[in-house]
Amino acid sequence: MTALRGFTTVTFFADDLDAARAWYNQVFELDPYFVREGAYLEWRVGDYQHEFGLLNTKFAPHTGSGGAVVYWAVDDVEAAYQRLLDLGATSHDKPTSRGPGFVTASVRDPFGNILGVMFNQHYLDVLNK
């Protein structure tokens, strides 16, 4: 099969994997389910148990200057955004309405990655089918 079937694992990078683990344990309110000490951590998060990985930067492939914002579905963007700031993130994009049923915001985690949160009515429509 050649069709794209959906996201599997989103991977962020951190120089200090121990600090990143502690921070994301707070964000996700759970411990990683998969651990390769000093190299890689992975959590299963949310309604569909999406996989979020943290890779020690020393093992990261050289990727140039590209990047992406990964948005996590939340019920209250303002509250989620503020919680991330309270945990030590810095603002990347303040909560913004993107049209009926869509609000986004993003932060930089303490390790330089961009983490987004979004209220997305389409997500809820699909979830509730």
pTM (two decimals): 0.84
**All domains of the chain in start order, with CATH:** 6-59 (3.10.180.10), 69-129 (3.10.180.10)
Alpha-carbon distances, residue 16 vs 39, 65, 111 (angstroms) = 10, 21, 8
As beta bridge partners, residue 115 has: 70, 107
Give the per-residue pLDDT at 35.
97
More confident: 85 or 102: 85
Q: 129, 30, 120, 28: which is closest to 74 by C-alpha?
A: 120
User: Helix/strand/coil (H, E, C) string of 4-62?
Assistant: CCCCCEEEEEECCHHHHHHHHHHHHCCCCCEEECCCEEEEEECCCCEEEEEEEHHHCCC
- Does residue 4 register a pLDDT over 80? no
**Span 6-50, pLDDT tens digits:** 777 899 999 999 999 999 999 999 999 999 999 999 999 999 899
User: CA–CA separation, 122 vs 129, rounded Å?
Assistant: 11
